[in-house]
C-alpha cells in the first residue's frame, strides 16, 4: 500500500486509538502476509508508526481525548487482562506517599509481570492472582484515563501485601476519608 493511502487510513482513527497490533493494522489496510509486513516496515521507516514492543505499534501523531499515552500503551500491552493503576502510582495519586513517580507507572495486572521502557516512560507490570470481581470491587473509574485506579484502601493493602514502599506511607493521610 502506498504511504499516503496508509496514512489516510490511519488518520481515520484520530481521537479513538493510537496503539495497534499487526492484525489490527492488517484490517485497516486490508492486507496480510508480506504485503502487510512491507507496509508496516515502510510506515516505521517513515516515522508514522513507532514500534513499541513485539507486534505493538504506536501512531504518535493522533490524539486520544486526553488519555495519557503511557496508560493507553499499558492497556494495549496487556490487552485481554484486568489492569489497574496500583501500588506506588496509586499511592501517589491518593497522596498516601509524597513521592510522585516521574516518567513511570505501576500497573497491577492479571497478566505477566514485566517492565517496558517506552518513549512515554517506564511501565512496570506487577502480577496479581486475585479474581476480576475483587479487582472491580476495589478499583474506581479514573475519568480522563485509560486504566482504573485502585481505591485508597486497596492501594495501601497492596503495598503492604507486596512489601513495597511501606516506609513511605503517610498513615495520617491513609486515615483521612477525603
pLDDT per residue, tens digit, the chain (178 aa), is 888 898 889 888 877 889 999 999 999 999 999 999 999 999 999 998 999 999 999 987 656 667 899 999 999 999 999 999 999 999 999 999 988 888 899 999 999 999 999 999 999 999 999 999 999 999 999 998 999 999 999 999 999 998 888 788 888 888 886 5
pTM for the model stands at 0.86
Q: Are 13 and 72 in contact (CB under 8 A)?
A: no
Which residue has 516496515 as its cell numbers? 41
C-alpha cell at 115: 517492565
Contacts 24+ apart (CB under 8 A), 54-57: 55/21, 55/22, 56/19, 56/20, 56/21, 57/19, 57/20, 57/21, 57/22, 57/25
Q: 114 pairs with which residues across the strands?
A: 125
Sheet holding 121-127: strands in order across?
A: 114-118, 121-127, 104-109, 83-85, 148-150, 139-140
Burial of 17 (0-12, 13-18, 19+ CB in 10 A): middle
Burial of 74 (0-12, 13-18, 19+ CB in 10 A): buried
Amino acid at each position: 500500500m502506498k504511504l499516503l493511502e496508509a496514512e489516510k487510513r490511519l488518520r481515520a482513527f484520530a481521537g479513538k486509538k493510537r496503539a495497534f497490533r499487526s492484525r489490527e493494522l492488517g484490517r485497516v489496510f486490508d492486507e496480510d502476509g508480506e504485503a502487510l509486513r512491507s507496509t508496516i516496515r515502510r510506515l516505521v521507516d517513515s516515522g508514522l508508526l513507532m514500534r513499541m514492543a513485539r507486534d505493538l505499534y504506536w501512531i504518535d501523531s493522533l490524539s486520544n481525548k486526553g488519555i495519557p499515552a503511557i496508560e493507553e500503551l499499558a492497556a494495549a500491552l496487556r490487552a485481554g487482562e484486568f489492569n489497574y493503576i496500583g501500588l506506588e502510582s496509586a499511592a501517589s495519586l491518593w497522596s498516601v506517599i509524597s513521592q510522585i513517580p516521574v516518567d513511570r507507572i505501576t500497573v497491577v495486572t492479571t497478566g505477566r509481570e514485566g517492565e517496558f521502557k517506552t518513549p512515554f516512560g517506564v511501565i512496570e507490570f506487577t502480577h496479581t492472582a486475585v479474581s476480576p470481581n475483587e479487582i472491580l470491587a476495589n478499583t474506581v473509574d479514573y475519568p480522563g484515563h485509560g486504566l482504573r485506579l485502585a481505591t485508597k484502601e486497596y492501594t495501601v493493602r497492596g503495598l503492604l501485601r507486596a512489601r513495597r514502599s511501606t516506609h513511605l506511607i503517610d498513615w495520617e493521610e491513609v486515615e483521612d476519608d477525603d
